């Protein structure tokens, strides 16, 4: 794949890296190269190589504290990919009727193939949605963003209730977890109750069942207070 650029100028590897740095920022996780190794499931040397390329192309800078920062150009590119991913997920759920747990993976392929013309058409057909089906904001949407304060699931006490707002992209990489979330009804907009919480696991209950999370997974599930 190295060196190959598809017709529209899209380069899947570059796009995956920029998108992942955007996700890390969105989750307030410092964008260290080690995080890219984990999330992209590639070797450390491969990440170093690709990061050098992204620096050369002017998309990222390596800061003194060893974190990666998007340049203006890199941020524009990353934002385009994230928007297309989330619009594709909405298309797949709202129009094509795919199961909720399947659309993240499918959108991961489509996001690299959506042209600006197609993107504009998606925004129109989907009525400019504010979020993806996992509750994450679609950058550039004209809708008023949800301003409710968010907490991670890890911040809740046993017995406490909260409304699910966002299932962050990191958690969507775990297909089995998505299936479990859908089966239990742990979806954006639903109220969950913390059943048990320990150093190893947090279990929540929703309408149709319960799901257990590791603390790292629970970090990626953002909730808000019950109105």
Binding to Zn ion in span 93-122, by CB under 5 A: 104
- At residue 149, φ and ψ (nearest 5 deg) are -65, 135
| Contacts of 78 by beta carbon, 8 Å cutoff, 6+ apart | 18, 19, 21, 22, 70
Question: What Cα–Cα distance (Å) separates residue 43 from each residue in 29, 34, 35, 37, 40?
Answer: 20, 9, 11, 6, 9
Least distance (Å) between residue 172 CB and Zn ion: 5
Rounded to whole angstroms, the Cα distance separating 88 from 106 reads 8
Q: Are 221 and 194 in contact (CB under 8 A)?
A: no
Which stretch in 17-25, 44-52, 171-179, 214-222 sits in contact with Zn ion by CB under 5 A?
A: 171-179
Least distance (Å) between residue 146 CB and Zn ion: 17
Least distance (Å) between residue 49 CB and Zn ion: 26
Binding to Zn ion in span 66-85, by CB under 5 A: none
Three-state DSSP class for 198?
coil
Q: Residues in contact with Zn ion, total (CB under 5 A)?
A: 2
Question: What Cα–Cα distance (Å) separates residue 188 from each residue in 46, 105, 128, 182?
Answer: 35, 18, 18, 10
Least distance (Å) between residue 216 CB and Zn ion: 18
Residue with Cβ nearer Zn ion (20 or 172): 172
Least distance (Å) between residue 10 CB and Zn ion: 18
Residue with Cβ nearer Zn ion (105 or 146): 105
Residue with Cβ nearer Zn ion (166 or 194): 166
Determine the residue with CB nearest Zn ion: 104
> Is residue 90 a contact residue for Zn ion (CB under 5 A)?
no
> Is residue 131 a contact residue for Zn ion (CB under 5 A)?
no
Rounded to 10°, the helix 72-90/103-110 angle is 130
> Is residue 172 a contact residue for Zn ion (CB under 5 A)?
yes
Query: Which residues lie near Zn ion (CB under 5 A)?
Result: 104, 172
């Amino acid at each position: 794949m190295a060196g190959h650029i598809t017709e529209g100028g899209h380069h899947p590897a570059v796009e995956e890296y920029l998108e992942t740095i955007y996700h890390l920022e969105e989750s307030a996780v410092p964008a260290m190269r080690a995080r890219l190794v984990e999330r992209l499931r590639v070797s450390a040397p491969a990440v170093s190589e690709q990061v050098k390329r992204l620096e050369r192309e002017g998309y990222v800078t390596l800061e003194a504290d060893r974190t990666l920062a998007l340049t203006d150009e890199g941020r524009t590119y990353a934002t385009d990919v994230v928007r297309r991913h989330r619009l594709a997920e909405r298309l797949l759920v709202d129009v094509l009727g795919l199961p909720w747990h399947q659309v993240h993976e499918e959108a991961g392929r489509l996001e690299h193939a959506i042209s600006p013309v197609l993107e504009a058409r998606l925004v129109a057909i989907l009525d400019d949605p504010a979020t993806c089906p996992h509750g994450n904001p679609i950058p550039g949407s004209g809708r008023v963003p949800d301003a409710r304060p968010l907490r991670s699931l890890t911040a809740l006490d046993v017995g406490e209730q909260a409304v699910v707002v966002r299932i962050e992209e990191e958690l969507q990489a775990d297909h089995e977890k998505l299936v479990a979330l859908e089966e239990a009804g742990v979806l954006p907009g639903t109220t969950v109750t913390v059943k048990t919480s320990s150093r190893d696991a947090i279990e929540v209950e929703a309408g149709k069942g319960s799901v257990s999370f590791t603390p790292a997974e629970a970090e990626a599930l953002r909730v808000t207070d019950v109105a």
